[in-house]
Amino acid sequence: MFGILLRVMKFLRPLSIALLTTLFAILPHDQSAAQAIWSSEHGDFGIGYDDGDIEPHWHLHNGAVVGGAPVDGSPEDGVEFEPENLMPQIPFAKSTARAGGAEWDFVGVAAGHATWVFPAAEDPALPFIGLGAEELDPPDWSTPFTVTLTGISGSGVTAGGFFSLYTTDSFGAPVVSMASANGISAADHTQIAAGAHAHYNWAFTQPGRYDVTFEITGTHGADGAKSASATYRFNVVPEPSTYALLGLGLAALGWARRRR
């Protein structure tokens, strides 16, 4: 009987390894220790300018919750983070169903499929992500800034996920700025003027991590054409059962190793 059990475990061990390989592909396991989690309240994908260079960054307003506590910077400035040092996060339970109608096909999943959206209308339980260039003086810039999607990777993408950026018009129809489901091109962009602020829906279609790279360009009145590239990380937390499955896989793998 014991010999039969050993043969069963020998069969399960490669399955456990395959399971772990799949799970580690979709779980956000490689977050940097320096990367703070932004879980709610208002902040911006910020565009700054210093010493002749465009400076993409996160600009969080006072009260935004990072690492479980509200940030409290100066009354005027709030708190800024480098793109790689902060990650807005949305829980698995905050999913919404993709709307029906062909006009929503840009999302990349079928009608009714779960999506996770950082919304353009404030939800106090989620990061409220703006696009902000308020810190720049409009007379200094002869063109608006163009923010172009240039790349996307991460465990969410490996699992088949897509990213899109859009607003809705007065009738509720989507106005699409970026959509990775159709392939990334120069058409995946939006614009914002120096001194301006806007809000969009930031949508993702699978749990996992998304490393989204943007190029920001603009023309300074004195310094000429300028550009910068930065990668911003977002996270859709997998459902708790996924972590439980990971635990089972680790236990099965550990048991098989002990028996050897």
**pLDDT per residue over 208-237, tens digit each?**
999 999 999 999 999 999 999 999 999 999
pLDDT score of 253 more than 60:
no
Residues 6 or more apart whose CB falls under 8 angstroms from that of 231 comprise: 83, 84, 151, 211, 212, 213, 214
* Model pLDDT, residue 76: 67
Give the range among 71-75, 126-130, 160-164, 184-188 with minimum mean pLDDT. Answer: 71-75
- DSSP lists the bridge partners of residue 38 as 66, 88
pLDDT, greater one: 90 or 2: 90
Q: What is the model's pTM?
A: 0.81
Radius of gyration of the chain (CA): 22
Question: At residue 158, does pLDDT exceed 70?
Answer: yes
Residues with Cβ within 8 Å of residue 18, at least 6 apart in sequence: none
- Please tell me the predicted confidence (pLDDT) of residue 238: 87
Average pLDDT over residues 55-68: 96
Q: Residue 260: pLDDT above 50? A: no
Mean pLDDT score, 24-30: 41
Confidence of residue 24 (pLDDT cuts 50, 70, 90): very low
* Helix intervals (H) in the chain: 2-26, 155-158, 240-259
Pick the more confident residue, 17 or 230.
230
- Would the pLDDT of 160 be above 60? yes
Q: Which residues contact 257 (CB under 8 A, 6 or more apart)?
A: 13
Q: How far, CA to CA in Å, does 87 sit from each of 36, 190, 231?
A: 6, 21, 11
Instruction: Choose among 82, 64, 181: nearest CA to 122.
Output: 64
Residue extents of the structural domains in the chain: 1-27+240-260, 35-237
pLDDT more than 90, % of the chain: 75
User: Does 17 score more than 80 pLDDT?
Assistant: no
Q: Indicate the pLDDT class of residue 240, thresholds 50, 70 and 90.
A: low
Q: How many angstroms separate the CA atoms of 219 and 221, rounded?
A: 6
Question: What is the per-residue pLDDT for 249?
Answer: 42
Distance CA 112, CA 25 (A): 25
> Tens digit of pLDDT for each residue in 93-105?
999 999 999 999 9
